């Protein structure tokens, strides 16, 4: 398995998001070879035990 950059301005876009008020963490969207989302972030609900990958297996364009 390998990681491949598909957007040339990825780092600039992540830094812009990280500078917004109220943003604590920014991460990359990772895709499977078929284009579906492997990792669109991590979510934790108040009082929940554990965390989960946001938009797991969603179509690529379903998550910005």
Residue 16 token pair: 């812009």
Residue 38 token pair: 């492997």
Q: pLDDT band at residue 19, thresholds of 50, 70 and 90?
A: very high
Residue 63 lies in a domain: yes
Residue 18 lies in a domain: no
Domain count, the chain: 1
Residue 15 lies in a domain: no
What number is the average pLDDT over the span 15-44? 82
Residue 33 lies in a domain: yes
Torsion angle of C-alpha atoms 56, 57, 61, 64, degrees rounded to 10: 10
pLDDT digits (tens, 9 = 90+) for 22-34: 887 787 878 888 8
Residue 1 lies in a domain: no
pTM: 0.58
Residue 11 lies in a domain: no
- Domain limits at 47? 26-64
Residue 34 lies in a domain: yes
């Amino acid at each position: 398995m390998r990681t491949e950059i598909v957007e040339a301005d990825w780092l600039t876009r992540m830094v812009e998001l990280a500078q917004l008020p109220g943003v604590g963490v920014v991460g990359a969207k990772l895709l499977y070879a078929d284009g579906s989302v492997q990792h669109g972030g991590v979510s934790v609900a108040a009082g929940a035990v554990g965390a989960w990958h946001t938009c797991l297996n969603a179509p690529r364009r379903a998550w910005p």
